[in-house]
């Protein structure tokens, strides 16, 4: 043993260990593994009709091998095989494992990708069949003492492997038809319904469910860069399948009917709604690559890049001019989003690099764009003649899905005339139809051109306000508030929405009564409206200051709303609310970083706009000096600046009070000012 280190046992002291390779299976285990593997392969299911011949040949040969291995086991040859036979059978095991891996891989792929890559797969199968035939010919059957009928079985299996047929002509013709269809769509030729249906039947896509599954599989493979060679064709096929799903299968089956709010919230089988903190404030979609800008706010990289590319240099959420346009990855938030996606079964749809590349590939793929245009046109025409809620709901659901991602899709749906047809559906008594309609409008509103279409559509704003007050579900109300937020990002529309007292009152009502996610969207919409000075009076009259104060300890946006009101004429209304200043000081001490920034900014604005009445209230709050000192020490850069400004205001007030006390013979108001605030 001393001369064979590889055979040495690991040291019990743990100071040094020798890691041994796993022992090779015994000959008996080898034969049992071969028999089990051959039996499994003999029962493989064909993943697509056009692969039926290839998989049938795998099944036939595996059945022959399973019979031979079964005979070896029964004859007692499993005791110990001749060395040459054992080595040969171990190689056979490796080949069968490769067959099984190919079968598993094919079962996991999308059918269209299988068709596109059929040549490569056929070549790999031919190579494996040749290897298996060679090994069967080399197997020393004489040494194994096999019966004549077993020898015949092995010989037959070897001959079948060598006679591996090329792919059938029908498979090549199907592949050519699919590629030809893509080329026709690129030339803006609408595919014939019968031809499209025939192709999908040949790849076993026969209903909306299988079509949706195929679309999801293709999208996942595109995001994973599963096939660089065929990526462009796969992107085009996604668009083609979306079109086929609408044309051939009349969109999707209506979700199960239900009157309960809980059932309707999850009625369409879509992934659960992500928390508001996980959604980009610009696109309102789940952030895939969250980044932090100079103001400390987080956005999805793709959305903020578009914002900066349009020539803007401000923070979309706070409105402040950014010192620089650098983006820093928010890895902590990205990890939280990834965890949420895993726990809720939501696909991340590709990492930041692959997602942007995928978007560029789609934009450059004429076939995919034309297919999306055809789909949008078909759906809008279908909606214009849909007389029943059930038929309309199926179509609107597809419009909602189509407009969910991609500015091109949103443009096509808007250009096709969807907006005027969606607006009346917001008054539907069907909860599912109402939710799909308002969500479709929300998705469309992300595109600038569609904002104009919505704002100029007769009764659109009133219909959105109706949803906020009388929507069948909180989800519908929340999406209506989000639509207001999206529309208000345009300066002129912000004024128009702010002048609409109904919209403002409904948003205030949502903040008062809604669940957390609804409050967030309603407060965000109010914050955007408060960015316009002429809106502030109406916001104050509607009670925005009161509801923002009531939410200040729970929603960080509430402090931003108060700061915006104070900046543009609402300072007096805030100070006149009992306890308002004290709540802002409390938020300055205990809120999130952004909430502390805005609470401090609001206090500075109140003091500057109103002078002594506001400063007196600030200084009357116990511990305010220490709250300022703490924020100056550990706050964000903006928070430190605002805290320093508030500290200077308080010092001047203390000095003026002391001087007045001396002149009047009275005592100045007692205050404790930390050393950091005493510095000039």
Output the pLDDT for position 591.
85
Residues 125 and 174 in one domain: no
pLDDT bin (cut points 50, 70, 90) of residue 75 is low
Output the pLDDT for position 343.
67
Assess if residue 142 is contained within a domain.
yes
User: What are the structure tokens assigned to 149, written together?
Assistant: 């009928």
Q: Across residues 158-170, what is the average pLDDT?
A: 79
Q: Is the pLDDT of residue 440 over 50?
A: yes
Residue 329 phi, psi dihedral angles, 5° rounding: -60, 135
Q: Is the pLDDT of residue 566 over 70?
A: yes
For tokens 């290897």, the residue is 131
Assess if residue 21 is contained within a domain.
no
Stated as kind and residue range, the H or E segment containing 292 is strand 290-292
Identify the CATH number of the domain in which residue 302 sits.
Answer: 3.30.40.10
Q: Across residues 519-534, what is the average pLDDT?
A: 90
pLDDT bin (cut points 50, 70, 90) of residue 678 is very low
Q: Is the pLDDT of residue 477 over 80?
A: yes
Q: Determine what percent of the chain is predicted with pLDDT higher than 90.
A: 29
Q: Is the pLDDT of residue 458 over 90?
A: yes
**Of the residues 167, 192, 218, the one at which a domain ends:** 167
Q: Across residues 135-154, what is the average pLDDT?
A: 85
Residues 100 and 206 in one domain: no
What are the beta bridge partners of residue 300?
290
**Residue 193: domain span:** 170-249
Q: How many domains does the chain have?
A: 5
Output the pLDDT for position 602.
93
Output the pLDDT for position 363.
43
Q: Which of 16-25, 212-221, 656-665 has the lowest mean pLDDT?
A: 16-25
Q: Which of 74-88, 246-260, 308-322 has the lowest mean pLDDT?
A: 246-260
Q: Which residue has the higher pLDDT, 529 or 48?
A: 529
Assess if residue 341 is contained within a domain.
no
Output the pLDDT for position 12.
42
Q: For 335-391, write each residue's pLDDT tens digit.
A: 778 777 766 666 554 434 344 444 444 444 778 888 888 889 999 998 988 778 888
Residues 537 and 393 in one domain: yes
Q: Is the pLDDT of residue 680 over 80?
A: no
Q: Across residues 501-511, what is the average pLDDT?
A: 94
Q: Across residues 252-281, what is the average pLDDT?
A: 51
> Is the separation of the CB atoms in 519 and 555 below 8 Å?
yes
Q: Which of 306-310, 530-534, 566-570 has the lowest mean pLDDT?
A: 306-310
Q: For 181-211, write each residue's pLDDT tens digit.
A: 888 888 878 888 888 888 888 888 888 888 8
Assess if residue 12 is contained within a domain.
no
> Is the separation of the CB atoms in 426 and 434 below 8 Å?
yes
Residues 409 and 507 in one domain: yes
Report which of 165, 147, 2, 157 is spatially closest to residue 76, judged by C-alpha positions: 147
Q: For 630-667, write each residue's pLDDT tens digit.
A: 888 888 888 889 999 999 988 888 888 777 666 554 44
Q: Which of 431-435, 513-517, 618-622, 676-680 has the lowest mean pLDDT?
A: 676-680
Q: Across residues 588-596, what is the average pLDDT?
A: 87
Q: How far apart are CA 205 and CA 198, in angstroms?
A: 10
Assess if residue 189 is contained within a domain.
yes
Q: For 404-424, write each residue's pLDDT tens digit.
A: 877 888 999 999 999 999 999
Q: Is the pLDDT of residue 676 over 80?
A: no
Residues 163 and 174 in one domain: no
User: What are the structure tokens assigned to 147, written together?
Assistant: 């019966």
Assess if residue 560 is contained within a domain.
no
Residues 242 and 288 in one domain: no
pLDDT bin (cut points 50, 70, 90) of residue 7 is very low
Q: Which residue has the higher pLDDT, 592 or 603?
A: 603
Q: Which of 37-51, 69-83, 370-384, 429-443 has the highest mean pLDDT?
A: 429-443
Assess if residue 271 is contained within a domain.
no
Q: Is the pLDDT of residue 490 over 50?
A: yes
Output the pLDDT for position 660.
67
Identify the CATH number of the domain in which residue 503 sits.
Answer: 1.25.10.10
Residues 509 and 656 in one domain: no
Residues 44 and 106 in one domain: yes
Output the pLDDT for position 243.
87
Q: What is the 3-state secondary structure (H, E, C) of 29-50?
A: HHHHHHHHHHHHHHCCCCCCHH
User: What are the structure tokens assigned to 334, written together?
Assistant: 């990205």
Output the pLDDT for position 295.
79
| Three-point CA angle 303, 306, 311, nearest 5° | 135
Q: Across residues 4-16, what is the average pLDDT?
A: 42
Output the pLDDT for position 589.
87
pLDDT bin (cut points 50, 70, 90) of residue 5 is very low
Residues 59 and 124 in one domain: yes
Residues 508 and 523 in one domain: yes
Question: Strand 298-300 and strand 290-292: pairing?
Answer: antiparallel
Report which of 409, 416, 532, 430 is spatially closest to residue 473, judged by C-alpha positions: 430
Residues 188 and 159 in one domain: no
Q: Which residue has the higher pLDDT, 559 or 321?
A: 559
What does pLDDT average to over the chain?
82
Q: Which residues contact 546 (CB under 8 A, 6 or more apart)?
A: 577
Residues 413 and 533 in one domain: yes
Q: Is the pLDDT of residue 459 over 90?
A: yes
Output the pLDDT for position 347.
56
For tokens 């109300």, the residue is 477
User: What are the structure tokens assigned to 403, written together?
Assistant: 């407009």
Assess if residue 148 is contained within a domain.
yes
**pTM listed for this prediction:** 0.69
């Amino acid at each position: 043993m001393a001369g064979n280190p590889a055979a040495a046992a690991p040291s019990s002291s743990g100071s040094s260990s020798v890691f041994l390779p796993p022992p090779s299976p015994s000959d008996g285990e080898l034969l049992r593994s071969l028999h089990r593997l051959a039996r499994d392969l003999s029962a493989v299911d064909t993943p697509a009709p056009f692969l039926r011949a290839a998989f049938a040949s795998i099944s036939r040969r595996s059945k022959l091998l399973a019979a031979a291995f079964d005979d070896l086991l029964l004859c007692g040859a499993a005791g110990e095989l001749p060395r040459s036979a054992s080595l040969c059978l171990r190689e056979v095991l490796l080949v069968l494992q490769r067959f099984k891996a190919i079968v598993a891989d094919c079962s996991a792929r999308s059918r269209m990708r299988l068709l596109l890559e059929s040549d490569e797969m056929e070549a790999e199968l031919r190579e494996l069949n040749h290897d298996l035939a060679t090994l069967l010919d080399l197997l020393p059957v004489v040494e194994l003492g096999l019966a004549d009928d077993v020898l015949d079985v092995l010989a037959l299996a070897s001959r079948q492997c060598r006679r591996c047929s090329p792919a059938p002509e029908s498979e090549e013709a199907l592949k050519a038809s699919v590629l030809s269809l893509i080329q026709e769509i690129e030339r803006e030729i609408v595919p014939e319904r019968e031809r499209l249906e025939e192709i999908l039947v040949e790849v076993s896509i026969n209903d909306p469910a299988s079509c949706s599954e195929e679309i999801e599989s293709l999208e996942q493979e595109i995001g994973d860069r599963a096939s660089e060679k065929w990526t462009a064709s796969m992107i085009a096929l996604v668009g083609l399948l979306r079109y086929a799903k609408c044309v051939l299968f009349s969109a999707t089956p209506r979700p199960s009917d239900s009157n309960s709010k809980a059932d309707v919230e999850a009625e369409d089988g879509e992934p659960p709604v992500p928390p508001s903190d996980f959604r980009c404030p610009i696109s309102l979609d789940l952030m895939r690559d969250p980044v932090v800008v100079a103001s400390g706010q987080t956005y999805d990289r793709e959305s903020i890049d578009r914002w900066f590319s349009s020539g803007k240099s401000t923070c979309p959420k706070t409105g402040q001019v950014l010192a620089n346009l650098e983006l820093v990855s928010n890895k902590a938030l990205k990890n939280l989003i990834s965890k949420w996606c895993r726990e809720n079964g939501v696909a991340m749809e590709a990492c930041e690099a692959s997602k942007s590349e995928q978007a560029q590939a789609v934009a450059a793929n004429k076939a995919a764009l034309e297919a999306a245009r055809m789909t949008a046109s078909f759906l809008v025409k279908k909606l214009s003649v849909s007389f029943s809620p059930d038929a309309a709901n199926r179509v609107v659901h597809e419009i909602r899905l189509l407009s969910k991602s991609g500015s091109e899709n949103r443009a096509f749906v808007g250009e096709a005339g969807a907006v005027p047809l969606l607006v009346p559906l917001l008054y539907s008594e069907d909860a599912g139809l109402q939710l799909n309609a308002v969500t479709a409008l929300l998705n469309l509103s992300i595109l600038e051109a569609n904002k104009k279409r919505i704002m100029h559509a007769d009764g659109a704003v009133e219909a959105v306000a109706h949803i906020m007050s009388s929507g069948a579900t909180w989800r519908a109300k929340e999406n209506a508030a989000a639509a207001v937020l999206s529309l208000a990002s345009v300066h002129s529309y912000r004024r128009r929405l702010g002048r609409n007292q109904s919209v403002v009152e409904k948003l205030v009502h949502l903040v008062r009564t809604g669940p957390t996610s609804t409050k967030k969207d309603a407060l965000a919409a109010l914050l955007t409206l408060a960015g316009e000075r002429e809106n502030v009076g109406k916001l104050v009259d509607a009670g925005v200051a009161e509801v923002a104060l009531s939410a200040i300890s729970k929603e960080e946006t509430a402090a931003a709303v108060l700061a915006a009101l104070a900046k543009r004429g609402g300072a007096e209304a805030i100070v006149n609310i009992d306890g308002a200043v004290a709540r802002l000081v409390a938020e300055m001490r205990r809120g999130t970083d952004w909430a502390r920034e805005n609470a401090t900014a609001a206090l500075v604005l109140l003091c500057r706009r109103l002078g002594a009445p506001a400063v007196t209230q600030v200084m009357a709050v116990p511990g305010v000096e220490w709250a300022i000192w703490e924020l100056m020490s550990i706050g964000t850069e903006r928070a430190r600046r605002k805290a320093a400004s508030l500290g200077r205001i308080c010092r001047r007030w203390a000095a003026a009070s002391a001087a007045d006390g001396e002149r009047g013979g009275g005592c100045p108001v007692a205050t404790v000012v930390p050393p950091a605030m005493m510095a000039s």
